[in-house]
A and B are shown apart, each in its own frame.
Chain A
Amino acid sequence: MQAVKLDKKTEWLEKLVRANEGRLVRYCCRFVKMEVAREIVQEGFVRLWNQNGPNIEGREKEWLFCVCRNLAIDHLRRESKVVLLNEEGVLVPETEAMLSLREEASELQKTVSRLPPAQREVIRLKYQESLSYQEIAGVTGHSVSYVGVLIHQAVENMRKQLVGAAAK
């Protein structure tokens, strides 16, 4: 009986790893170096495994993003990197690791990179990771309403920048 349970849990973990590992590493690379991002994501999954109870059932993705984000912030603090936490969210620059992934970034991707950090983070979570406002709020600690404001501002910013670039 125990073995069956364990098999199911392992299957559940593998499924989540397949669906989210790359995305989580990509997300964490915006805060920390690639190898650290990988460690963080591994730690996130180990913690997920150790989670008991149904309290995260159905929202594992949001939970993983949130935990990995917090671990990345913890790492930056340990490294004495400047991490400013305010109501706008986590203010950290995109790392070189991530930029190297985007040597041939499109105009839109460059536009996203130029957004203020809090807007950039929510827009990526929305468009790139397909999280809902509610989930983004869960990951970032913002209210759902504030997530709406940030996304609206980000979209407006991006459209203006793209129109400007096209006019040139």
Chain B
Amino acid sequence: MSLDKKLLTAYALGEARGADEERAKVMVERDPEAKKFVDELRAFSSAATADLAREPLPGERGSAPIKAEIERRTKLKSQAPASRGLWREAAVMAVVLIAVGVVGHKKILRYAGMDSPADNNPDVPTVERPVVDVQTESFFGSNGIQVQPRSLKKLPPEKHAEVFNELASLDGRSAAESSLGRCRFQIPEASASDTSSEEGTQLFREFKGASGLLIQVMAAEFPKASFHVAQGEEVTKGGGYKLMKQTLDEGPSAFYHVTSSASEPVCGVKVLLPQVDFTQADTGEVREAANNFAKKLAGTIEVK
């Protein structure tokens, strides 16, 4: 009889649970070969543990430098609101991140496209997938910028056009020339029926579980833009990350960042704006425009 060595390995290492453990026990009791395998493996494991434990540990610094760093960042954090330079620095790092807050309570803010240029137009240039962003969390964290979840009330409808115009202008066009002009905001309650397009419905369904904020922007009008997603794993439970990733992989359609907290019904949300290719654009102007837009949108969204 052939042995289930994977099971016996887990059993020998104390990792078999429940029915698996019982099954392994029976095997060991009844089959001398299984017993021999487990005994040998336990002896091997104990020797391996002892041997690998002898591998030297690097010298330790202790907690002092860590505490000093925590203190430094706490100080920076308390100074952060007064420091306008930090946002500029963020733009220089080629990522514009807006912290808008949150949504608990089953409200979702959404940019829903009336039609998706990426779906309908084969000529829409594919945005090259950027190297995964490593600057958001760590960059903002290490510069003392804290993105705190806040309750989101809504973005007033009268501001929607303004937001579209601003977005469109980032690419140097007017809203009339941009397919963004055909987009609109929706702020539905937590019901799939509130969505206005098939894609929106799907997105909504995907994110319903996460109870978060989703901002989707049809961004085919940004041929020079690329997008960042960071820490998206946090919404894996709602299936959102997979969808985000897929969207990013497949077309230039969206940028967003949603985080959810398991311990609270409130989600922190960060919106990442397109990162314009600074090598091709007038970097100063674009940076300034992106920066201003980030500030404006953050200020426009009404927070409780």
A is bound by B? yes
Residues on A lying within 8 angstroms of B by beta carbon are 10, 13-14, 17-18, 21-23, 25-26, 29, 34, 37-38, 42-43, 45-47, 49-50, 53-55, 71, 74-75, 77-78, 101-102, 105-106, 108-109, 112, 123-124, 126-128, 130, 132-133, 148-149, 151-152, 155-156, 158-159
| Known pairs A46-B66, A128-B52; A151 contacts B58 (CB<8 A) | no
Shortest CB-to-CB span from A124 to chain B, Å, is 7
Shortest CB-to-CB span from A131 to chain B, Å, is 11
A42 touches B65 (CB 8 A): yes
Contacts of B45 in A (CB 8 A): 127, 155
Can you list 23 contacts pairing A with B, beta carbon distance less than 8 Å?
A: A14-B63, A17-B60, A17-B63, A38-B58, A42-B69, A43-B142, A46-B141, A47-B141, A50-B70, A55-B261, A74-B138, A77-B132, A109-B55, A124-B52, A133-B15, A148-B9, A151-B9, A151-B10, A152-B6, A152-B10, A155-B9, A155-B45, A158-B44
Contacts of A112 in B (CB 8 A): 52
Residue of A nearest to B131 (CB): A77
Contacts of A149 in B (CB 8 A): 6
What is the CA–CA distance of A17 and B60 in the complex, to the nearest angstrom?
9
B69 touches A21 (CB 8 A): no
Q: Mark B245-261, 1 if CB is under 8 A from A, else 0.
A: 00000000000000001
B52 touches A108 (CB 8 A): yes
8 Å CB contact of B15 from A43, A47, A148: A148
What is the CA–CA distance of A128 and B86 in the complex, to the nearest angstrom?
42
Contacts of B52 in A (CB 8 A): 108-109, 112, 124, 127-128
A46 touches B70 (CB 8 A): yes
Shortest CB-to-CB span from B262 to chain A, Å, is 5
B263 touches A152 (CB 8 A): no
Contacts of A54 in B (CB 8 A): 263
Contacts of B262 in A (CB 8 A): 55
A34 touches B58 (CB 8 A): yes
Contacts of B121 in A (CB 8 A): none
Contacts of A108 in B (CB 8 A): 47-48, 51-52
Contacts of B13 in A (CB 8 A): 126, 133, 151
Contacts of A102 in B (CB 8 A): 55-56
A45 touches B66 (CB 8 A): yes
Residue of A nearest to B5 (CB): A152
Shortest CB-to-CB span from A83 to chain B, Å, is 10
Among B1-32, those with CB < 8 Å from A are 5-6, 9-10, 13, 15
B134 touches A78 (CB 8 A): yes
**Other A-B pairs beyond A106-B51, A158-B44, 16, CB < 8 Å:** A18-B62, A22-B60, A26-B58, A29-B58, A46-B66, A50-B141, A54-B263, A55-B263, A74-B138, A75-B134, A77-B134, A108-B51, A109-B51, A148-B9, A149-B6, A155-B41
Number of interface residues of B (CB under 8 A): 41
What is the CA–CA distance of A158 and B61 in the complex, to the nearest angstrom?
34
Contacts of B176 in A (CB 8 A): none
B84 within 8 Å of A by Cβ? no
B66 touches A132 (CB 8 A): no
Contacts of A38 in B (CB 8 A): 58, 61
Contacts of B61 in A (CB 8 A): 21, 38, 42
The 3 A-B pairs at the shortest CB distance, nearest first, are namely: A22-B57, A74-B134, A17-B63
Shortest CB-to-CB span from A3 to chain B, Å, is 15
A46 touches B60 (CB 8 A): no
Shortest CB-to-CB span from B55 to chain A, Å, is 6
Residue of B nearest to A162 (CB): B44
A10 touches B67 (CB 8 A): yes
Among B85-139, those with CB < 8 Å from A are 131-132, 134, 138
Residue from A23, A106, A130 having most chain B Cβ neighbours under 10 A: A106
